[in-house]
Structure 1
Amino acid sequence: MLVPVADPEDGERTAAALAPYLSPSSRVIIVNVIEKAGGAPDKASVEQREEYAQTVFERAREPLEERAGAVETTILFGTDVVETIFEAAVERAVDAVVFEPRGGSRFVELLTGDVARRLVKEASVPVVALPRTDT
């Protein structure tokens, strides 16, 4: 399964929510998408974002390592986070994209493009939304 994570807290929370459902035959690919600005200057250098992704992966990997048979990490680059996630899912022939919806107000969702909603609505592979663990 492909597991997109946005930041260290999201990675750790999502991995903890996913871990109980895994078995030794499970293969988990944790991804962090570095969103490119599409012609505009990026907010941070690629090197800074790659270092940040490694921090995200460290936090997400720990809850999974004893439950899953294989845990991989990869950095993806794209101008559209959702499209990039599904392209990676198809390329890697995963069974599903798995995520835990993050909290936020409707206003924040409108400003950020509501990635969780798009993951479900634009799915090109099965999508599993894990139950929220922070409620």
Structure 2
Amino acid sequence: MSLTFDGTILVPAADPDDGERTAAALAPYLEPSSRVIVVNVIEKAGGAPDKASVEQREEYAREIFDRARGPLEERAGAVETAILFGTDVVETIFEAAVERNVDAVVFEPRDGNRFVELLTGDVARRLVKNASVPVIALPRNEEE
């Protein structure tokens, strides 16, 4: 079975390494008709003071996008980026997916031990469990 993406997909990226890894894992599945929207969610503290300024977080998001673009632009017809703001990362991702009428949310699960997942809410698990659009987890690259 061969998998290809020829529609619009949303790719959440948490940090520059995640963005680059996910883009590299996704690139072989793209078609010239693919439209990829790479997003980074800036989590609002919900009343608590933020650890970094909005400007710092936006700069960090631009670094994520710069690193993700390379592998994607070689294969996709269009690559877009968006900085999203929300108090819940998963809800914010799905709101953006619905607003942009994407065909799927695509991600590469990151390493993490169960304790860290328990504390952080395990975004990957929640992406699959709370899906309002199709969600595809790309296979991990064993060389990493």
TM-score (norm 2): 0.93
Q: Which residue of 1 aligns with 2:4?
A: none
Once the two structures are TM-superposed, the CA of residue 53 in structure 1 deviates from its matched residue by 0.3
CA distance in 1: counterparts of 2:31 and 2:134, whole angstroms: 19
Question: How many residue pairs end up in the alignment?
Answer: 135
1:6-25 paired onto structure 2 within 5 Å: 6-25=14-33
- State the alpha-carbon separation in 2 of the partners of residues 133 and 107 from structure 1: 23
Which structure 1 residue ranges, 4+ long, deviate > 4 Å from structure 2? none
Partner of 2:107: 99
Aligned to 1:74: 82
Q: Does 1:124 align with 2:132?
A: yes
1:4 aligns with 2:12: yes
| Structure 2: tracts of 5 or more residues without a match | 1-8
RMSD: 0.7
Structure 2 Cα separation of the partners of residues 96 and 62 of structure 1: 21
Tell me the percent identity. Answer: 86
Report the alpha carbon displacement of residue 134 of structure 1 after superposing the two structures with TM: 4.1
Normalised to the residue count of structure 1, the TM-score between the two structures is: 0.99
1:46 to 1:56, Cα distance in 2 relative to 1, 3 A: same
Q: 1:81 and 1:41 mapped to 2: Cα distance?
A: 17
SS in 2 for 1:64: helix
CA distance in structure 1 between the aligned counterparts of 2:123 and 2:108, rounded to whole angstroms: 11
What one-letter code is carried by the residue in structure 2 that aligns with 1:87? E
- The match for 2:6 is none
Query: 1:67-92, CA deviations, whole angstroms, 9 ceiling, x for partnerless residues?
Result: 00000000000000000000000000
Which structure 1 residue ranges, 5 or more long, are not aligned? none
